[in-house]
């Protein structure tokens, strides 16, 4: 038996723990004892007032120049004799893998949830996403370590807790949009930034928030600069996913040099997620 372990984010991102060292699963079933006076332990009154908790800990070696990141379903590849993401991304250095996990697999939204999926290469049914074991929940943290004797390869540890993600805040806000194109407007006398973007694609049926506008964050690429914001309002488009091209007029835009941008869609419930930091786009 050979096992493969994947961490799956809600936006169809997958990370494979290609060289995992160990996995521990801790099932806690708390019981409150109430010992009775003048009675032995067999008369101890045990009261079950709390629910159970399952946590997982996975440690693995982060290898340099490997391809653990992918998107889409997790499928069986007979030619490789192993499970893999439907689309496998280019190889990443160990530093880039650490950065990717910190930015794309760290919960920071009320909409975040994750899955740990374990696949067996010898299982008979190799239908896509047919796991030998899986848990839904949230990450409680990552730890990354390296040392001077082997600075290229890192060791990582992930803490995961099983459960249903519940929030008291409104869930009617947008997942991060995807920027597809960007440019300055106004020619040599810059007047703003034009951005083409599309909404998050993989909403459940009838679960797509109604867009009423967007907020652009921008700052000069060079130097130490604070993000500035510009908001526009518009009517939601049709399509799956809806796509837009909007111009943000900015009076104090940098006259020369490139700018970095992020975007967030707004609804009546407020601002949605910003595009991820690794997706900062350069306007040139």
Name 34's bridge partners.
Answer: 45
CA distance 129 to 75: 6
Q: Answer for the pair 105, 114: CB distance below 8 angstroms, yes or no.
A: yes
What does the buried/exposed string (b/e) look like for 2-40 if buried means 16 or more CB atoms within 10 Å of the residue's CB? eebbbbbbbbebbbbbbebeebeeeeeeeeeeeeeeeee
Which residue's structure tokens are 């899955």? 115
Please give the DSSP secondary-structure letter assigned to residue 119.
Answer: E
Phi, psi of 236, deg, nearest 5: -60, 140
Question: How much is the average pLDDT of 91-96?
Answer: 90
Residue 168 has pLDDT above 50, yes or no: no
Residue 50 has pLDDT above 50, yes or no: yes
Question: What pTM, to 2 d.p., does this model score?
Answer: 0.64
pLDDT tens digits, one per residue of 199-251: 988 877 678 889 999 999 999 988 878 889 999 999 999 988 999 999 999 98
Question: How much is the average pLDDT of 143-166?
Answer: 86
Question: How much is the average pLDDT of 69-94?
Answer: 92
CA distance 42 to 31: 15
Q: In the numeric block, which tokens belong to residue 216?
A: 């652009």
Residue 51 has pLDDT above 70, yes or no: yes
CA distance 160 to 245: 39
Residue 279: its pLDDT value, please? 58
Nearest to 5 by CA among 116, 87, 114, 157: 116
Domains of the chain, CATH where assigned = 3-26+54-162 (no CATH), 178-283 (2.60.40.10)
Q: Which of 20-29, 215-224, 269-278 has the highest mean pLDDT?
A: 20-29
Phi, psi of 101, deg, nearest 5: -65, -40
Residue 163 has pLDDT above 50, yes or no: yes
Q: Answer for the pair 275, 178: CB distance below 8 angstroms, yes or no.
A: yes
pLDDT over 90, % of the chain = 48
CA distance 10 to 221: 30
pLDDT tens digits, one per residue of 94-137: 989 999 898 888 887 666 789 999 999 998 888 888 899 999 89
Three-class SS state of 230: strand
Residue 189 has pLDDT above 60, yes or no: yes
> What's the whole-number average pLDDT of the chain?
88
Residue 184: its pLDDT value, please? 94
pLDDT tens digits, one per residue of 146-156: 888 777 789 99
Q: In the numeric block, which tokens belong to residue 266?
A: 């707004």
Spatial neighbors of 34 by CB under 8 A, at least 6 apart, are 44, 45, 46, 47
CA distance 260 to 193: 11
Residue 170 has pLDDT above 60, yes or no: no
């Amino acid at each position: 038996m050979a096992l493969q372990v994947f961490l799956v984010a809600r936006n169809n991102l997958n990370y494979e723990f290609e060289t995992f060292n160990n996995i521990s699963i801790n099932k806690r079933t708390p019981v409150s004892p109430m010992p009775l006076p003048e009675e032995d332990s067999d008369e101890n009154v045990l009261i079950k007032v709390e629910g159970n908790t399952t946590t997982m800990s996975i440690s693995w070696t982060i290898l340099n120049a490997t391809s653990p990141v992918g998107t889409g379903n997790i499928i069986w590849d007979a030619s490789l004799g192993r499970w893999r993401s439907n689309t496998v991304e280019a190889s990443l250095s160990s530093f880039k893998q650490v950065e990717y996990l910190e930015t794309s697999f760290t919960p920071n939204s009320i909409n975040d949830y994750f899955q740990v999926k374990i696949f067996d290469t010898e299982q008979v049914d190799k239908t896509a996403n047919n796991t030998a074991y899986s848990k839904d929940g949230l990450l409680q943290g990552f730890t990354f370590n390296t040392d001077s004797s082997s600075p290229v390869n890192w060791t990582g540890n992930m803490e995961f807790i099983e459960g249903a993600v519940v929030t008291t805040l409104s869930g009617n806000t947008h997942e991060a949009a995807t920027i597809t194109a960007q440019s300055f407007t106004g020619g040599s006398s810059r007047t703003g930034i034009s951005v083409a973007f599309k909404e998050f694609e993989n909403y459940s049926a009838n679960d797509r928030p109604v867009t009423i506008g967007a907020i652009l964050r921008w700052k000069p690429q060079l130097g130490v600069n604070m993000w500035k914001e510009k908001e526009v309002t518009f009517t939601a488009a049709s399509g799956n996913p809806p796509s837009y091209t909007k111009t943000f007029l900015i009076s104090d835009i940098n006259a020369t040099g490139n700018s970095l941008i992020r975007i967030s869609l707004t609804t009546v419930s407020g601002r949605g997620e910003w595009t991820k930091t690794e997706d900062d786009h350069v306007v040139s």
